[in-house]
Amino acid sequence: MKIGIVGNGLAGVIAAKTLREASPEVEIEVFAQEGYHYYPRPNLIEYLAGKLPYNRLFAFPESWYKERRIDVHLKTPAAAISADRLEITTASGEKKAFDRLLLCEGASAARLPIRGIDKKGVFVLRTLDDAQAILDYLPAHGETAVIGGGLLGLEMARALAQRGAKVRVVEFFDRLLPRQLDSQAAGLLKAWVEKMGIAVRLSTSTEEVRGDGEVSGLLFKGGDSIGASTAILAAGVQPNIRLAQDAGLTTDRGVVVDDLLQTSRPNIFAAGDNTSHRGRLYGIIPASFDQARLAAANLLGQNKPYGGTVMSNTLKVAGLHVTSVGTVNPEGPGFEEIRKEDRDRGIYKKVVLQDGALVGAIWMGTKQGAEQIAKAVAKRADVARSKNTLLEDDFDLGLL
């Protein structure tokens, strides 16, 4: 059997790895947009911060692919696919036919409708080339504005500050990490970030990147402005679905798949940030990993269903550990929220219950118990009897 994989990000490479582990005979070809082998995207942050050297960016050496007979075509993006012939046409016009296809094109950085974003000095961070371009530009343009106070924006702000840049974060919503935190936790995080010397501006809509050819500042709705010589857009991603659309596959915001991660056309599957399952786009590493492994199994006919992934994010900003998992800002009746805060130690814990079941948690300021609480949320552990002591430091979360 010959399997063609479009994309060599996390989903594409984990799928290839899983295919080889399951079948010594299957032929695997991977078509990559970039000229580099797979690197975990979080490594780009540490590379920006100067904490990770170039040669440690990559997940596997080139020999790893050769030993496993995974044929990766670097700098060979797929320009089109044929759903009928199961054929990939590369950007150079070469055509290759397969028995089954897996689309793992991921996503691209979202481009906001802001005037002037094409000016020199405006960057996004999605690829290694993006990171290198920022590092090349930064030394002479250190006054940096990061537009977006989500996970990526805060991690980039931290990394650039460690490089010596003067950094401001501009967030449209009224709090940082609006998808992962509640107002109380976001307030603690803001104070922590500001202790690093990173200025934070909330409830601010950026209307224009100012400058005569090069960035000189930002103009906000209402007329306020700030000076800046570098602007970083960190406002989410857009799933890459053009190939699927052009091939006639069903799409919404992503490539629509069923529980076997098969698209609307036979023998074409999808996994990762470009994938819409039950109307949901995940955009997180655990989901890409889960989908890739199950898609690989189903490419081989094993019929293993994907039931979804519990939303979970973990980051570290200025030494502050933050874990957010499941439903953390519940809406509607039937939910119970329990909180505990130790402001002196910078610790905040919150759990969300629904009919006694644990459905969400925020764990900030400590790693202790974070992994266990995430697992408990994933299995909707019944904590009705222990809810009053659940957040105490001496509570054994391993019992959940």
CATH number for the domain harbouring residue 226 = 3.50.50.60
- For 146-157, the pLDDT digits (tens) are 999 998 999 999
Mean of the pLDDT values across residues 40-47?
95
Please report whether residue 228 resides in a domain. yes
pLDDT of residue 394: 85
Q: Where are the alpha helices (DSSP H) in 53-100?
A: 62-67
pLDDT of residue 2: 98
Mean pLDDT, all residues of the chain: 95
Rounded Cα gap, residues 109 and 124, in angstroms: 7
Domain final position from 192, 207, 233: 233
Residues 260 and 333 in one domain: no
pLDDT of residue 241: 97
Please report whether residue 13 resides in a domain. yes
Residues 295 and 334 in one domain: no
Q: How confident is the model at residue 314 (pLDDT cuts 50, 70, 90)?
A: confident
pLDDT of residue 209: 98
Tell me how many domains the chain contains: 3
Angle at 158 between CA 157 and CA 159, to 5 degrees: 95
H or E element, residue 217? strand 217-220
Mean of the pLDDT values across residues 208-233?
97
CATH number assigned to the domain comprising residue 332: 3.30.390.30
At residue 143, the 3 state secondary structure works out as strand
Mean of the pLDDT values across residues 151-171?
94
Residues 208 and 129 in one domain: yes
Residues 207 and 129 in one domain: yes
* Residue 317 pLDDT > 80: no
Q: How confident is the model at residue 400 (pLDDT cuts 50, 70, 90)?
A: confident
pLDDT of residue 95: 97
- Classify the C-alpha dihedral 176-177-183-184 as positive or negative: negative
- For 106-140, the pLDDT digits (tens) are 999 998 899 999 999 999 999 999 999 999 999 99
The least confident of 36-50, 160-174, 245-259, 305-319 is: 305-319
* Residue 398 pLDDT > 90: no
Please report whether residue 180 resides in a domain. yes
Please check whether residue 10 is in contact with residue 38, taking contact to mean a CB–CB distance below 8 angstroms: yes
Domain final position from 254, 270, 299: 299
Please report whether residue 26 resides in a domain. yes
Please check whether residue 65 is in contact with residue 19, taking contact to mean a CB–CB distance below 8 angstroms: no
Please report whether residue 82 resides in a domain. yes
* Residue 293 pLDDT > 80: yes
Please report whether residue 29 resides in a domain. yes
Residues 199 and 246 in one domain: no
Please report whether residue 343 resides in a domain. yes
Please check whether residue 227 is in contact with residue 144, taking contact to mean a CB–CB distance below 8 angstroms: no
List the domain range (segments joined by +) for residue 344: 319-399
Residues 128 and 229 in one domain: yes
Residues 272 and 215 in one domain: no
Please report whether residue 311 resides in a domain. no
Residues 391 and 373 in one domain: yes
Domain final position from 210, 233, 256: 233
Q: How confident is the model at residue 187 (pLDDT cuts 50, 70, 90)?
A: very high
Q: What is the DSSP string of 346-391?
A: TEEEEEEEETTEEEEEEEES--TTHHHHHHHHHTT-B-TTTTTTTT
At which residue do the structure tokens 């430091």 appear? Answer: 393
pTM (two decimals): 0.91
Residues 229 and 137 in one domain: yes
Order the strands of the 166-170 sheet from edge to edge.
122-124, 230-233, 143-147, 166-170, 199-201
CA distances for 378 relative to 191, 276, 324, 358, angstroms:
30, 20, 12, 8
Residues 66 and 22 in one domain: yes
Residues 28 and 82 in one domain: yes
